[in-house]
Amino acid sequence: MKPSFPASHDAAGPGAAASAPASATAPAPAPAAGWPLLALGFRPFYLLAGAYAALAVPLWVAVHGGALPALGALAGSVWHAHEMIFGYAFAVIAGFLFTAVRNWTNRPTPSGGALALVCALWLAARVCVLTPWIELAAAFDLLFAVAVAIGIARPMIASANRRNYFFIGLVALLGLAGATLLIGAGRGSSALAPLASTLGLDLVGLIIAIIAGRVVPMFTNNAVLGAGATRVEALERSALGVLIALFAVDALATLLPAVPSALVTGVLALLAAGVHALRLARWRPLRTRALPILWILHVSYAWLVIHLALRGAAAVDLFPANLATHALTIGAIGGMTLGMMTRTARGHSGRPLLAGRAELAAYLLIQLAALVRVFLPLVLPGAYGTSLTLSALFWSSAFALFTVRFWPILSRPRVDGRPG
């Protein structure tokens, strides 16, 4: 599976151009009848993701600290890993893709009852993972991934949007990894569950890198006069190619135990850190400092660079591996998803692309969550418990702010009267 990399205007956002020739002549999707919350995918999934992120992390900290018993049949750390990757992050990805694909193809993605059914599959997986019925949770995870894949595949195929077909494969792989993690953990596999967790993180990191490359330079140039954010095709392909190589090495590590995968991973991760740092530099991040709704994307992408550097260092035991993991999950995934949710929710509800006080506070809180979780244990090794508690508090507060602030935006019709 080799993704193609269209020009940066091929993005999910107000006024984004369609990426297939056939879509230019297709009729515009009709407004969805019924409840505005089910008019377009970003609406319910952003709210579900925000609320779940705000609740799930404090719940995990309570289990980790012994204030609550283990959640269902899974160890607390396994539940936490699964739900942050395949619960929270996958929900944001689903909402984004349902919205983006509608823009790219000018054809409808699930709305109304069909969208409610996809949401119900996601919710069923979240409930079942708290029970002894791990296989049922895995089945709902897979069904959710299949529903998302079909929801984006139909309009892509109808409009011959071939350059985005690889997203169908990425969604399917993400669903398979989530189900594998649950089945491996439920059967007590010592290797299967960690492998699936690593592959899931690789996939989400790759999706973030692909989407960021499409939208961040464009958003920067559109918002900052003379910003000069650029994309170099060779650099773009190298940046994504090295992430795909990391995924491949991680996938083969269990099948080929004789291969020194830690060393190969470390070299690849350090190479990737350099390539992605250069990629980010060409997007001119310092020129966005006056626009929070824009700098949050740049700063969050910088956390991907930090993650890759720490992962390379962890391969030779310079730093604990979990610091690299949380640089990705909190800093890159948490920050980038929060930034994209606020931006696309505003744009697709007909509102100005400006961050208010609540959004700014959420952006700062998610950055504090990442800084405390990643760097405080390095400075004060004995402060692990403090870093965990503070980071969870900052994370939960950021997403609680998002959920409360955006509930009226996401649950009401567009202010300009347009569909979506």
Per-residue pLDDT of the chain (420 residues; tens, 9 = 90+): 444 433 333 344 433 433 333 333 444 444 445 689 999 999 999 999 999 999 999 999 999 888 888 878 787 788 999 999 999 999 999 999 999 999 999 999 999 999 999 999 999 999 999 999 999 999 999 999 999 999 999 999 999 999 999 999 999 999 999 999 999 887 766 678 888 999 999 999 999 999 999 999 999 999 999 999 999 999 999 999 999 999 999 988 766 665 567 888 899 999 999 999 999 999 999 999 999 999 999 999 999 999 999 999 998 888 889 999 999 999 999 999 999 999 999 999 999 999 999 999 999 999 999 999 999 998 888 888 899 999 999 999 999 999 999 999 999 999 988 887
pTM of the complete model beyond 0.85 = yes
The tokens of 9 are what? 């205007």
Any residues with CB less than 8 A from the CB of 137 and at least 6 apart, and which?
125, 128, 129, 131, 182
Any residues with CB less than 8 A from the CB of 276 and at least 6 apart, and which?
209, 239, 301, 304, 305, 308
Query: CB–CB of 413/36 below 8 Å?
Result: yes
Using left for φ > 0, alpha for ψ between -120 and 50, and beta otherwise, residue 206 falls in alpha
Say if residue 53 is exposed, middle or buried (CB neighbours under 10 Å; 0-12, 13-18, 19+).
Answer: buried
d(CA 151, CA 141): 15
Are both 406 and 289 inside the same structural domain?
yes
Are both 148 and 242 inside the same structural domain?
no
Are both 91 and 146 inside the same structural domain?
yes
Any residues with CB less than 8 A from the CB of 213 and at least 6 apart, and which?
5, 8, 231, 236, 239, 240, 279
**The pLDDT value given to residue 21:** 36
**The pLDDT value given to residue 412:** 94
Q: How far is CA 154 from CA 102, 182, 353, in A?
A: 11, 29, 30
Are both 166 and 234 inside the same structural domain?
no
> Around 334, how many Cα atoms within 13 Å sit in the side-chain half-sphere?
34
d(CA 265, CA 249): 7
Establish if 204 belongs to a structural domain. Answer: no
Establish if 104 belongs to a structural domain. Answer: yes
Query: CB–CB of 295/285 below 8 Å?
Result: yes
Which residue range(s) make up the domain with 115?
A: 38-189
Domain-terminating residue out of 189, 215, 250: 189
Domain-terminating residue out of 158, 189, 220: 189
Any residues with CB less than 8 A from the CB of 347 and at least 6 apart, and which?
13, 14, 353
d(CA 333, CA 398): 13
Are both 246 and 392 inside the same structural domain?
yes
Are both 299 and 176 inside the same structural domain?
no
Establish if 269 belongs to a structural domain. Answer: yes
**The pLDDT value given to residue 256:** 65
d(CA 297, CA 219): 10
Are both 308 and 394 inside the same structural domain?
yes
Establish if 22 belongs to a structural domain. Answer: no
Domain count, the chain: 2
